């Protein structure tokens, strides 16, 4: 038993006592077992049951700012009124009803967030397309998700594939008009089940087409409680800042879980502010936004952090408001962490994490204390998440032994939209998610990652699966074989490289193939390093390429 004296001398004992008061029986973030799609999984006891309920509560934050951009401010009360109007018009003019899909293909903007909330408040499903998709990828997304409505910004409207049959609304014109058309409208009162789908987020396919990870109301609301608990924990550890006075920088795309599930959505529960950066990543504009809005929290991909660290005039910006800085979405090294701490004062609070689209939020988080003790750790599983490391037969292995990272919890996706085979492969007995990533747990329960999913390339925070690009390249009439792999990149972490075997007698150039891929896939999937060879790619007895024997 831990005594008061133990707590006074052992910071971990003191921390455990504080956490126990929050998550233990009777605590505000206590958990209880519940049936989740046929498996018994711990869920938050004091949880909301629908995103619509969270939206309705958020109006109580009144005049506090929800979204601030370089030139606009939207309060919680204004946001609720605009969402109510927009939802009313989507229902009456476009027939959006529970279970329908509303697809968004656009860069970050307040209207993106408005459309999301209007959609889920109607019990419909928000489908987040990757805004960098090519027209052919957009065409696939429309066929696959079969939306009732497509919402686009002007840039994507100009590049829509031919023959789009679904009604199209623009973020710049239609959404503001509809959000003001019914000023007296009430927010929808639609009954949904906790495990009803709320969002589809596309992730690059390991064997070709993108897959749509489906997240439920339960999934997103569990993420909300996790973030609320983090605020309560900070308060318990002596942080005097009212959670409502925190400001979160939103700079990563809203079609990623980092920005939508773990930033835009939880703010409605905490009443805090989003500083929303619009447009491409322009570091000086981002720093000006941090200074003007007094941003306190920034979650960045390593590429952003690297550019920040190398900025020649960083001292001309007042970044003193930043108190929390975290890395996510791509691997980073202990050496890089040390450089960040040496260059950036606010990086003393540096945290690292591990998660994936399918997990909805972080699987594990490494605190500054964790990183000080073990620089390469990804930390411990977050509240409610179970992690097991399993061998090839599916049996759990002991601490210190590598295996596949498998996770389970209230955050785990329902499955992949319209893809039962992929769902059955990823989510198996008792709803354990098999990530395909290789790692291990140490004796203290901390996770480390050995290898990301087989052959995965992470370019500037975007997942790139070689099979998808290889499938395009081998369709080129001059290409006999192709293999795609990642190569180190100082700025992006990794770049995409291709090894190509031309057909006998055929002539093809790097520029030809780059243009061919660019017509079919998003720009970040286009190889920037090319190598041509006459000899066939090495293969094993079953015909698979021996990837380890091929270099760029």
DSSP 127: E
3-state secondary structure (DSSP) of residue 80: helix
Of the given ranges (76-80, 221-225, 328-332, 398-402), which has the lowest mean pLDDT? 328-332
Q: Which two tokens stand for residue 182?
A: 């019914």
CB neighbour burial string for 350-363, b if at least 16 within 10 angstroms, e if fewer: bbbbbbbbbbbbbb
Please give the pLDDT value at position 17.
Answer: 83
Contact 404, 382 (CB under 8 A): no
What is the per-residue pLDDT for 42? Answer: 97
Is 253 strand, coil or helix?
coil
On average, the pLDDT of the chain sits at 92
CATH of range 457-549; options 3.40.710.10, 3.90.1720.10, 3.30.70.2860, 3.30.300.30: 3.30.300.30
Give residues with Cβ within 8 angstroms of 422, minimum separation 6.
211, 415, 416
Residues 6+ apart with CB under 8 A from 75: 61, 62, 63, 64, 65, 66
What pLDDT sits at residue 2?
47
pLDDT value at 543 more than 70:
no
All structural domains of the chain with their residue ranges:
363-454, 457-549
Give 193-202 pLDDT, tens digit per residue. Answer: 999 999 999 9
Counting Cβ atoms within 10 Å, is residue 212 exposed (0-12), middle (13-18) or buried (19+)?
Answer: buried
Q: For residue range 411-467, what is the model confidence (pLDDT) as tens digits?
A: 999 999 999 999 999 999 999 999 988 889 999 999 998 766 667 788 888 888 787
pLDDT at residue 207 is higher than 60: no
Terminal-residue alpha carbon distance, the chain = 57
CA distances from 252 to 204, 261, 295, 323 (A): 17, 12, 15, 19
- The span from the CA of 364 to the CA of 426, in Å, is 19
Which helix H or strand E contains 221, and what residues bound it? helix 217-236
CA distance 178 to 195: 29
Question: Percentage of residues in the chain with pLDDT exceeding 90?
Answer: 74
Report the alpha-carbon distance of residue 477 to residue 466 in Å, rounded: 19
Q: Is 378 helix (H, G, I), strand (E, B) or coil?
A: coil
- In this structure, are residues 36 and 21 in contact, taking their beta carbons and an 8 Å threshold? no
User: What percent helix, strand, coil does the chain show, rounded to 5?
Assistant: 35, 25, 40
- Residue 450 has what pLDDT? 76
Q: Does the pLDDT value for residue 206 go beyond 70?
A: no
Give pLDDT tens digits for 142-161.
Answer: 999 999 999 999 999 999 99
What is the percent of the chain with per-residue pLDDT over 70, rounded to a whole number? 95
Contact 491, 459 (CB under 8 A): no
Whether the predicted pLDDT of 499 surpasses 90: yes
Q: Is the pLDDT of residue 8 over 60?
A: no
Class for the domain spanning 363-454: mainly beta
| HEC letters along 57-69 | HHHHHCCCEEEEC
User: Residue 278 to residues 65, 258, 285, 290, 351: CA-CA distances in angstroms?
Assistant: 17, 16, 9, 13, 25
């Amino acid at each position: 038993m831990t005594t008061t004296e133990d707590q006074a001398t052992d910071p971990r004992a003191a921390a455990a006592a504080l956490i126990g008061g929050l998550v233990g029986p009777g605590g505000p973030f206590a958990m209880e077992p519940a049936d989740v799609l046929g498996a018994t999984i711990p869920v938050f006891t004091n949880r909301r049951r629908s995103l619509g309920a969270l939206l309705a509560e958020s109006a109580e934050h009144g005049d506090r700012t929800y979204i601030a951009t370089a030139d606009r401010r939207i309060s919680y009360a204004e946001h609720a009124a605009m969402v109510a109007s927009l939802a009313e018009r989507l229902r009456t003019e476009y027939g959006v009803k529970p279970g329908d899909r509303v697809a968004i293909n656009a860069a970050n903007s307040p209207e993106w967030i408005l459309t999301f909330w209007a959609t889920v408040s109607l019990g419909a499903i928000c489908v987040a397309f990757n805004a960098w998709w090519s027209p052919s990828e957009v065409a696939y997304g429309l066929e696959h998700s079969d939306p009732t409505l497509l919402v686009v910004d002007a840039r994507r409207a100009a590049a829509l594939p031919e023959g789009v049959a679904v009604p199209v609304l623009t973020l710049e014109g239609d959404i503001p008009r509809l959000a003001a058309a019914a000023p007296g409208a009430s927010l929808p009162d639609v009954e949904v089940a906790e495990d009803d789908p709320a969002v589809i987020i596309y992730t690059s396919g390991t064997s070709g087409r993108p897959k749509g990870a489906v997240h439920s109301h339960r999934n997103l609301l569990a993420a909300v409680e996790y973030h609320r608990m983090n605020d309560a924990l900070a308060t318990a550890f002596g942080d005097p800042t009212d959670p409502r006075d925190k400001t979160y920088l939103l700079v990563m795309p809203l079609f990623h879980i980092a920005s939508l599930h773990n930033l835009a959505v939880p703010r409605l529960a905490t009443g805090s502010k989003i500083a929303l950066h619009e447009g491409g990543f322009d570091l000086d504009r981002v720093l000006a936004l941090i200074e003007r809005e007094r941003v306190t929290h920034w979650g960045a991909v390593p590429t952003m952090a690297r550019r920040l660290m190398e900025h020649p005039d960083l001292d001309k910006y007042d970044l003193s408001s930043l108190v929390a800085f975290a890395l996510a979405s791509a691997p980073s090294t202990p050496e890089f962490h040390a450089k960040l701490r040496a260059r950036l004062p606010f990086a003393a609070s540096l945290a690292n994490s591990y998660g994936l689209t399918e997990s909805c939020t972080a699987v594990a988080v490494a605190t500054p204390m964790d990183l000080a003790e073990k620089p390469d750790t990804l930390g411990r599983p977050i509240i409610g998440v179970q992690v097991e490391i399993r061998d090839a037969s599916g049996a759990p292995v002991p601490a210190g032994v590598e295996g596949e990272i498998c996770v389970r919890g209230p955050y785990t996706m329902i499955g992949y939209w319209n893809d039962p085979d992929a769902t059955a492969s990823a989510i198996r007995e008792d709803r354990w998610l098999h990530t395909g990533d290789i790692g291990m747990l140490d004796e203290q329960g901390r996770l480390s990652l050995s290898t990301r999913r087989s052959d995965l390339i992470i370019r500037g925070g975007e997942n790139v699966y070689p099979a998808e690009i290889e499938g395009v390249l081998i369709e080129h009439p001059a290409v006999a074989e192709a293999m795609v792999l990642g190569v180190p990149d100082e700025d992006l972490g990794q770049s995409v490289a291709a090894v190509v075997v031309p057909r006998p007698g055929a002539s093809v150039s790097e520029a030809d193939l780059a243009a061919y891929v660019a017509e079919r896939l998003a720009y970040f999937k286009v190889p920037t390093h090319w190598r041509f060879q006459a000899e066939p790619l090495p293969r094993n007895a079953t015909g698979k390429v021996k990837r380890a024997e091929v270099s760029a």
